[in-house]
Structure 1
Amino acid sequence: MPDTAKLSDFAFINPATDTNGTAAEAPVAFIPMAAVAEGGGWRSTENRPLSDGRRGYTLFQRGDVIVAKITPCFENGKVALLSDLETDFGLGSTEFHVLRAKPGHDPRFIYHWTRHPAFLRAGEASMTGSAGQRRVPAGFFERFEIAEIEGPPQRLIADILDAIDDAVQETDAAIEKHQAIRLGLLDDLITVPAQIGQTDAPATLADVVGSISSGCSVNADDRPPAAGEFGVLKTSAVGGGRFRPLESKAVWPREESRLKCPVEAGLILFSRMNTPQLVGENAFVDQDHPGLFLPDRLWAIRVKDSEGILPEWVATILQTRQARAFITGEATGTSGSMKNIARTSLLRLPIRKLPHADQVDAMKAVHALQAEIDALMSEREKLAALRLGLRDDLLTGRKPVVAIREAAE
């Protein structure tokens, strides 16, 4: 293991930026907090005159690393390396700290350290201020110690971690593309867009739904149930058309008698109360989950057995963009952060009826595309785990960078 040195030995902390020779009205990149991604990265937004730097913005230059100082942005890893800044200088929120690599040090090495879990944990522990307004002080960067790695090894480490970042980003882009294709496929196979929201549509959800049941709220520990325990689902168990049974809580023994609405195969789980963006999230359950029950904010929708309707096909209807827009429009509530939809409103949702054989074919197409998305998600998880391990091994010097590079080759 190499010796350690203070981060301030590698980088200037909140340095002054010399703009002499640059006109006050020269356009510079403007990067607000919202433009910095959680986990690292940024996107260009707009240009502003350099003179705006005198109006309460943080001034930085190409190649700097900016780090959010305020909670929760710091904990969420809002950091960015500005090596691709289109202008020589930039302006951003006063809630950024600026790190500028000292001569002989690679700014990418510093950037990757700002994403290391040890850095984030230590920074969070150093925060000062009142609840909701806590900030990482500049002194934290002066004191924080990193592995004393210098010269070519810094560049090799940065190259390896950059390559992993690129692979993750490419996979994210592929996932986003496939998910967009999936939405288009659902629109094409499941609904007739002109029918959604029209009073003269040939059918409504009420024609195919046999019952809608709800669970109840019970006291539970915020952990998944262990073997032999009963569990109640969180509302986060349903999202993006997927059912996540591990998103559940262990019910207190004295509350078990109050449980109702078990999670069974063939049900459509529907979020009747949630944020405006998430109300109406739903998922099909393809197998029984003994010991799991619904909370009061999730409905269990059961499709009529006699209609020749596939329950999964109905769930897929509810996931289309047109249906989601209908549900959002019907949801009500006095709180801007929470909406609710009534049974009667949901059952008015116009739908397209298909023969059973066409439903089967439609679901085959959806399953095939979902399998591709699942494979990409699995690859993404592997890359993220690899990145986390390499970040720790390389930045701390636990494993020599040359050995890792040779293994990769």
Structure 2
Amino acid sequence: MPGDVWSELKLSDVLAEPIRNGYSPPESQAWTGVQMLGLGCLSAKGFNPVQLKNAPGSVSVMHPAILQDGDLLVSRANTRTLVGMVGVYRDVGTPCIYPDLMMRVRPSKRYLVEFLELVLRSPRTRRRVMAMAQGTSESMVKISGDVLRQLPVPDFSVDEQRRIVEIINSFTELERGIEASIAKFEALRSGLIEELAELECGLFDAVLKQGPQNGIYKPANSYGLQGTPIVRIDSFSRGKSDFTRGLLRVAVSGDEVARYGLEVGDIVINRVNTLDLVGKSTSVRRLTEPTIFESNMMRCKLRRSAAEPLFTETWLGSSVVKRYFLQRAKSAISQASINADDVRNCPFPKMGLLGQLAFLERLNAVDDQRLAEVAELAKLRQLKQGLVDDLLSGRVAVSAVAA
């Protein structure tokens, strides 16, 4: 009856052969005719052969771990959020084996492998797998073959399985269309940013009112949940930031707040970090209370008649500035640094304030369209996730959706 909750089997009831772990021999530098999958070939979106290595010559095409097109693969070890990732292996053109950190599942003819992939990827099953994974560290937990064999599988006919897969695949196609649209807007945004590279530049110092000034140093044991919020190197990425929440706090005096306090419109530049992150910058958009910045940062105050903070933030995140800071950075063991002179001598476009605002208007128009698509994708994925649970539980009849 439509809407009835379907009976369930266990995964062990629908197998054509036992679940098997893979094999992880040493990688060969030479081509041997057989390749090995890496764990990165499984993700939330299924199987994708993005991580292939050469197997040693001792692995023949007759090895038990050689995969067949349509084999179902499950990661048995990973972080808690990634353990149990599942995907259907598709022939990559050369014989492949799968690693020891994956398990291979081959269902009987009564069950479609695409349907089982859907079941094992469903929110209900994912919650169960993550709860049952075990390990001493959240960065590496494992599930056993026993856990996999005990997972519930809805008792649907092959025709019903096929219809459910078709329904969910139709949502997946819609997702791909929106993802392609998002990628188009991201490429358009990147193209706009690259236009800045063609501009004639002077020096950043020409638009500075004050700074660069290093922040305040406080020992690690000074940080906590009480005191004045402090911006640290992990408080922001490149570009837009939010300093109104999530910051650690530190006890400081009124004089220290006055000296190291941030104001809306300030530019904060990371002066010490790894080589790829040194020089990352952001503008201060909003503050809800006095907030200071730590010694790994530099604060710059702009002449607002010459430089718009959001344009400056965008420029400092451009490829031109990234290359400049990479060239000027002084490397040490595991970190690199830039100084105040590096910041002052950073190139800055000879563009008036009106030109900067016009550029931001174009950039914001693209960002608004991209964010609208991102929101649409989030809604579609939420609907799809709920529908998967409803269909697999029987709360929604397959015929009702198919119609």
Question: TM-score, with normalisation over the residues of structure 2?
Answer: 0.78
CA shift in 2, pair 1:66/1:274, >3 Å: farther
1:157 has 2:177 as partner: no
| Unpaired runs of at least 5, structure 1 | 18-24, 196-201
One-letter amino acid of the counterpart of residue 181, structure 1:
L
Equivalent in 354, 359, 373 of residue 357 of structure 1 = 354
Equivalent in 19, 42, 48 of residue 14 of structure 1 = 19
Using the TM superposition, name which of 292-301 and 372-381 deviates more. Answer: 292-301
Preserved contact between residue 74 and residue 104 of structure 2 (Cα < 8 Å): yes
Preserved contact between residue 77 and residue 83 of structure 2 (Cα < 8 Å): no
CA shift in 2, pair 1:185/1:61, >3 Å: same
Q: Within 1, Cα distance between the matches of 2:185 and 2:56?
A: 41
Preserved contact between residue 234 and residue 247 of structure 1 (Cα < 8 Å): no
One-letter amino acid of the counterpart of residue 171, structure 1:
I
1:144 has 2:151 as partner: yes
Q: Secondary structure at the match of 2:301?
A: strand
Partner of 1:324: 322
Q: CA RMSD in A?
A: 3.8
Preserved contact between residue 59 and residue 90 of structure 1 (Cα < 8 Å): yes
1:109-258 equivalences in 2 (<5 Å)? 109-128=115-134, 130-131=136-137, 133-188=140-195, 190-192=196-198, 202-209=201-208, 210-212=210-212, 214=215, 219-220=223-224, 238-239=236-237, 241-245=239-243, 248-249=246-247, 251=249
Preserved contact between residue 69 and residue 136 of structure 1 (Cα < 8 Å): yes
Shift, 1:220, TM fit = 4.1
Shift, 1:361, TM fit = 2.0
Equivalent in 93, 97, 122 of residue 99 of structure 2 = 93
Q: Within 1, Cα distance between the matches of 2:163 and 2:169?
A: 10
Partner of 2:280: 281
1:235-290: per-residue Cα shift (whole Å, max 9, x none)?
A: 565335222457614748x789887756643233444444444443333344x321
Preserved contact between residue 36 and residue 42 of structure 1 (Cα < 8 Å): yes
Shift, 1:171, TM fit = 2.5
Q: Within 2, Cα distance between the matches of 1:385 and 1:246?
A: 29
Shift, 1:346, TM fit = 2.7
Shift, 1:321, TM fit = 1.3
1:106 has 2:122 as partner: no
Shift, 1:103, TM fit = 0.7
Preserved contact between residue 216 and residue 259 of structure 1 (Cα < 8 Å): no
Partner of 1:382: 379
Preserved contact between residue 6 and residue 146 of structure 1 (Cα < 8 Å): yes
Number of equivalences: 380
Preserved contact between residue 34 and residue 59 of structure 2 (Cα < 8 Å): no
Partner of 2:343: 346
CA shift in 2, pair 1:79/1:362, >3 Å: same
Q: Secondary structure at the match of 1:384?
A: helix
Using the TM superposition, name which of 290-299 and 100-109 deviates more. Answer: 290-299
Q: Within 1, Cα distance between the matches of 2:19 and 2:66?
A: 9
Using the TM superposition, name which of 171-180 and 359-368 deviates more. Answer: 171-180
Preserved contact between residue 11 and residue 151 of structure 2 (Cα < 8 Å): yes
Q: Secondary structure at the match of 1:122?
A: helix
Using the TM superposition, name which of 354-363 and 71-80 deviates more. Answer: 71-80
Shift, 1:39, TM fit = 4.3
1:40-79 equivalences in 2 (<5 Å)? 40-43=46-49, 53-54=59-60, 58-72=65-79, 75=82, 78-79=85-86
Q: Secondary structure at the match of 1:283?
A: strand
| Unpaired runs of at least 5, structure 2 | 23-30
CA shift in 2, pair 1:395/1:292, >3 Å: farther
One-letter amino acid of the counterpart of residue 174, structure 1:
S
Shift, 1:354, TM fit = 1.1
1:106-147: per-residue Cα shift (whole Å, max 9, x none)?
A: 212211223234433433343455545542211111112233
CA shift in 2, pair 1:63/1:325, >3 Å: same
Preserved contact between residue 13 and residue 142 of structure 1 (Cα < 8 Å): no
Shift, 1:156, TM fit = 2.3
One-letter amino acid of the counterpart of residue 373, structure 2:
L
One-letter amino acid of the counterpart of residue 173, structure 1:
A
Preserved contact between residue 84 and residue 143 of structure 2 (Cα < 8 Å): no
Q: Within 2, Cα distance between the matches of 1:154 and 1:230?
A: 58
Preserved contact between residue 244 and residue 287 of structure 2 (Cα < 8 Å): no
One-letter amino acid of the counterpart of residue 307, structure 2:
I
Using the TM superposition, name which of 254-263 and 151-160 deviates more. Answer: 254-263
Shift, 1:215, TM fit = 6.3
1:193-228: per-residue Cα shift (whole Å, max 9, x none)?
A: 7x7xxxxxx52222222334546676346xxx9xxx
Preserved contact between residue 229 and residue 291 of structure 2 (Cα < 8 Å): yes
